[in-house]
Amino acid sequence: MTDRIIIKDPFDMHIHFREGEMLDLVAPLSAETFSGGIIMPNLVPPVDNIERLDNYISEIDNAVKGYNFTPFMTIFFKKYSREFLELVKGKIRAIKLYPAGATTNSDEGIKEIEDAFDTLRIMEELGIPLLVHGETHGFVMDREQEFLGIYDHLATEFPKLMIVMEHITTAAAVELLDKNDNLFATVTLQHLCITLDDVIGGLMQPHNFCKPIAKRPEDKSALLNAALSAHPKLSFGSDSAPHPIDKKESAYCSAGCFTSPFALQYLADIFESNGKLDNLQRFVSDNAMINYNLSSNNKTVTLVRGEYTIPEKYGNVVPFNSGKKLNWKIEEVS
Per-domain residue ranges of the chain: 4-333
Cα distance between residue 109 and residue 111, in whole Å? 7
Mean pLDDT throughout 204-209? 97
Q: Is residue 163 a contact partner of residue 182, using CB atoms and an 8 Å limit? A: yes
| pLDDT value of position 304 | 98
pLDDT: which is higher, 110 or 17: 17
Mean pLDDT throughout 183-190? 98
Quick count: other Cβ atoms within 10 Å of Cβ 161?
A: 20
Mean pLDDT throughout 46-70? 97
Cα distance between residue 47 and residue 285, in whole Å? 27
- Average predicted confidence (pLDDT) for the chain: 96
Quick count: other Cβ atoms within 10 Å of Cβ 123?
A: 25
Residues with Cβ < 8 Å from 286, sequence gap 6 or more?
Answer: 230
Indicate the pLDDT class of residue 106, thresholds 50, 70 and 90: low
End-to-end CA distance of the chain: 24
Indicate the pLDDT class of residue 110, thresholds 50, 70 and 90: confident
| pLDDT value of position 224 | 98
Q: Is residue 104 a contact partner of residue 97, using CB atoms and an 8 Å limit? A: no
Indicate the pLDDT class of residue 100, thresholds 50, 70 and 90: confident
Mean pLDDT throughout 156-168? 98
Cα distance between residue 318 and residue 311, in whole Å? 8
Smallest Cα–Cα separation from 209: which of 227, 190, 185?
Answer: 190
| pLDDT value of position 296 | 96
User: Is residue 104 scored above 70 in pLDDT?
Assistant: no
Amino acid at 63: A
Cα distance between residue 258 and residue 269, in whole Å? 18
Residue range 236-250, pLDDT digits in tens: 999 999 999 999 999
Residue range 257-299, pLDDT digits in tens: 999 999 999 999 999 999 999 999 999 999 999 999 999 999 9
| pLDDT value of position 30 | 98
Q: Is residue 134 a contact partner of residue 147, using CB atoms and an 8 Å limit? A: yes
| pLDDT value of position 102 | 62
Q: Report the residue count for the chain.
A: 334
pLDDT over 70 for what percent of the chain?
97
Q: Is the pTM of this model over 0.85?
A: yes
User: Is residue 231 scored above 70 in pLDDT?
Assistant: yes
Cα distance between residue 55 and residue 60, in whole Å? 9
Mean pLDDT throughout 319-331? 98
Catalytic (active-site) positions: 239
Dihedral-angle region of residue 93 (phi above 0 means left; psi in -120 to 50 means alpha; beta otherwise): alpha
Residues with Cβ < 8 Å from 287, sequence gap 6 or more?
Answer: 230, 231, 232, 233, 234, 235
Mean pLDDT throughout 191-220? 97
Residue range 7-57, pLDDT digits in tens: 999 999 999 999 999 999 999 999 999 999 999 999 999 999 999 999 999
User: Is residue 108 scored above 80 in pLDDT?
Assistant: no
Mean pLDDT throughout 53-67? 98
If one looks up domain 4-333 in CATH, what number appears? 3.20.20.140
Cα distance between residue 231 and residue 217, in whole Å? 20
pLDDT over 90 for what percent of the chain?
94
